[in-house]
């Protein structure tokens, strides 16, 4: 019968060695666990930081987009007569002829600079950097403001061709001539602000009689010269707007004298010889036209005040009111967030053609009014 060998009890030294090995293994295992936990914590911390950064960037993008939407809204119209009275009250002047026209120019200039977002055409940072609708609107309004101030300097404030021009009208015209994209040394905003200050000085001298060189002549030939410029501006805008569909017959129906060589030359220069406007320029032209008609609306309201006697003597009250109504239609608020460029009787409208229709009607009325001023 086989007997199992007897187990020899381990001595105290062997037991201590065994316990020491177990403790060493336990300590090594304990060292491995904290290392794994720390690595996981670091990874989770990095993910948390990335998540916070991503959420922050998303919030910034939403805020920038929201601000861009607010800044892209067209400013509301202002009351020319009320602005005239408010400005005259500042220096105790009288509402003599010419103060309404100058007040309208001041109001347009202040709107360009003080509307939400300020002047955006020369912005180099978001959200103004990526906006294009409002900068084009500003350019259209600025174009009309320049025409009005230039007419004030060359025609309205001078009795004849050899008369001395007013220094404030000259300064306003020069300051408005700066490139609107200039953003420093000098910035366009600073130059335009100085032009507005010069217009205020001209209005003060005109209303108070402090400076005899400040005059405003409400003559039919002066108004006809200004209307000739307006007629060309409106004709050009109507042509560019109607070219959004590339239909020459439709363009000829909307724009008078479209078959003239000058009109064809302008189309070649603007669109590179193509039949229709490039898709990314459709909204640019649309908002430029909106800005010009918005500014022209206020100027013609002012002209109806300052030139009331001349217009009545020429039986031209109906003509100028027709122009104002058409410009009001062209300046109506838009319900659509984008400029739609439909064709024919399709599902989508064509906002450019709607605008071209209003501008063409206004252009025809401006032509009639100019003829009345020259021959009526």
Burial bucket for residue 142 (CB in 10 Å: 0-12, 13-18, 19+): buried
The answer to whether the bond into 186 is cis (omega within 30° of 0) is yes
Residue with tokens 């403001």, as numbered in its chain: 145
Distance CA 255, CA 248 (A): 10
Distance CA 286, CA 297 (A): 16
Q: What is the pLDDT along the chain (376 residues), one digit of tens a residue?
A: 444 444 444 544 544 454 445 544 444 444 445 555 666 777 778 878 888 888 988 998 888 888 888 898 999 999 999 999 999 999 888 999 999 999 999 999 999 999 999 999 999 888 888 888 999 999 999 999 999 999 999 999 998 777 889 999 999 999 999 999 999 889 999 999 999 999 999 999 999 988 888 999 999 999 999 999 999 999 999 999 988 776 655 555 555 554 444 444 344 344 444 457 787 889 999 999 999 999 999 999 999 999 999 999 999 999 999 999 999 999 998 888 888 888 767 778 889 999 999 999 999 999 999 999 998 6
Distance CA 110, CA 301 (A): 17
3-class SS of residue 350? strand
The model's pTM: 0.81
Beta strands in 259-353 (DSSP E): none
Distance CA 287, CA 362 (A): 17
Distance CA 121, CA 141 (A): 12
Query: Phi and psi for 339 in degrees, rounded to 5?
Result: -85, 115
């Amino acid at each position: 019968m086989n007997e199992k060998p007897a187990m020899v009890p381990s001595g105290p030294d062997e037991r201590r060695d065994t316990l020491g090995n177990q403790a060493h293994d336990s300590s090594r295992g304990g060292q491995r666990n904290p290392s794994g936990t720390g690595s996981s914590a670091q990874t989770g911390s990095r993910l948390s930081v990335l998540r916070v950064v991503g959420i922050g960037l998303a919030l910034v993008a939403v805020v920038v987009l929201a601000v861009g939407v607010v800044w892209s809204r067209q400013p509301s119209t202002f009351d020319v007569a009320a602005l005239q009275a408010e400005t005259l009250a500042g220096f105790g002047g009288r509402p003599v002829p010419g103060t309404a026209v100058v007040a309208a120019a001041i109001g347009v200039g202040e709107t360009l600079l003080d509307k939400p977002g300020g002047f955006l055409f020369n912005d180099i940072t978001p959200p103004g950097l990526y906006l294009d609708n409002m900068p084009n609107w500003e350019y259209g309004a600025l174009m009309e403001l320049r025409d009005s101030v230039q007419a004030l300097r060359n025609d309205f404030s001078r009795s004849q061709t050899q008369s001395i021009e007013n220094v404030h009208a000259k300064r306003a015209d020069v300051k408005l001539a700066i490139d609107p994209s200039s953003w420093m040394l000098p910035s366009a905003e600073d130059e335009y602000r100085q032009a507005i200050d010069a217009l205020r000085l001209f209005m003060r001298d005109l209303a108070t009689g402090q400076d005899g060189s400040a005059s405003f002549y409400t003559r039919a030939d002066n108004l006809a010269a200004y209307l000739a410029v307006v007629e060309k501006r409106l004709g050009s805008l109507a042509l560019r707007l109607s070219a959004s569909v590339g239909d020459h017959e439709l363009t000829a129906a909307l724009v008078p004298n479209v078959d003239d060589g000058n009109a064809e030359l302008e189309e070649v220069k603007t669109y590179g010889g193509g039949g229709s406007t490039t898709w990314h320029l459709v909204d640019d032209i649309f908002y430029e036209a909106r800005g010009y008609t918005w500014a022209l609306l206020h100027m013609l309201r002012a002209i109806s005040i300052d030139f009331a006697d001349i217009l009545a003597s020429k039986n031209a009250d109906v003509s100028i009111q027709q122009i104002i109504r058409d410009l009001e239609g062209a300046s109506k608020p838009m319900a659509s967030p984008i400029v739609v460029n439909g064709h024919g009787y399709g599902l989508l409208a064509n906002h450019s053609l709607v605008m071209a229709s209003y501008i063409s009607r206004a252009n025809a009325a401006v032509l009639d009014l100019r003829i009345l001023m020259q021959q009526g």
